[in-house]
Amino acid sequence: MNQIDKVKFEHTPVMPKEVLELLSPKPGGVYMDATIGSGGHAKLILEKIGEKGRLIGMDQDSQALEAAKENLSFAENQVTFVKGNFRDLGKIFDNLKIEKVDGILLDLGVSSYQLTSPSRGFSSSEKEENLNARLDMRMDQESPFSAFDVVNNYPEAKLREIFFRYGEEPFSTKIAQQIVKERTIKPIETTNDLLSIIRTATPPKYRFSQPKGQYASNVFRAIRMEVNQELQALEEMVPQAINRLNSGSRLVVITFHSLEDRIVKHAFREATQPANFREQPTVKLLTKKPLFPTNEETSSNPRSQSAKIRAIEKL
């Protein structure tokens, strides 16, 4: 294998040892990385499946796919790259004329590049280069719907709901009220516009107790999850993934939010314990409880701190 060139779009693979143990990729197998990012996990899978194996690498972010193509160029004849959302997994398999695969990996983490690139508008950082970023937060840059639309068009009750539910924001009501008030004067267009509103709506003691800019991270995360319909996509994806696994094949999911983990936990439980007693389970649990990163990993990669892994095997 050739040395892989580093590109600007990077995402350190989370819990790589645990992922490989649970996914258990076999030589010559066909696998899907449904959120390939820059290819960190995909590279490890390719090393296990060998030259006769095949990998389908999917992502809705065009920049991520370009980075993955560069980083995985050593195996370009083995990888099929697909731009798409994992909620459309069944259609994507049909388009590729693939009935079933030997394993699927889903990593719901957001890459460092996405979080720190001012042009993407994901970050609540107060760094000068970030403040004038337009409110965007789209994983798929071709989508017409962005953070600007959420902040400027959603009714107050809906804003309050997503801030509280997705962001677990203690001042969701006041922030939603302030947003509606400010946008009647002028559109809320930039990171700085939104940060100013959040500062106005939250007490100084709360803001100063957080690292710089982190007082707004709950709201930014909630808006990102709403823009990209992350929870809805996950709910739609898991049953499709189970249906597309060969017998003995595995689905491994890495989550970073309690609501994501809850969706995966319940979907796996339904597949292992059908509501109708006449139906047989379609999968078995490989993780009765989620796996967490080691202290060593969280020290070297702080973004892995909230990661959880769950996995199942198709019967």
Annotated binding site: 39-41, 59, 86, 107, 114
Which stretch of DSSP H or E encloses residue 83? strand 79-83
Rg (CA), the chain: 20
Pick left, alpha or beta for residue 104 (phi over 0 → left; psi -120 to 50 → alpha; otherwise beta). Answer: beta
Give 263: exposed, middle or buried? Use CB within 10 Å, 0-12, 13-18, 19+: buried
Any bridge partners for residue 104, and if so which? 32, 251
Q: Is 103 helix (H, G, I), strand (E, B) or coil?
A: strand
Do 55 and 41 contact (CB within 8 A), yes or no?
A: no
Q: Which residues are annotated as a binding site for S-adenosyl-L-methionine?
A: 39-41, 59, 86, 107, 114
Q: Which structure tokens are listed for 70?
A: 């560069």
Which residues, 6+ apart, have CB-to-CB distance to 26 below 8 Å? 48, 49, 53, 102
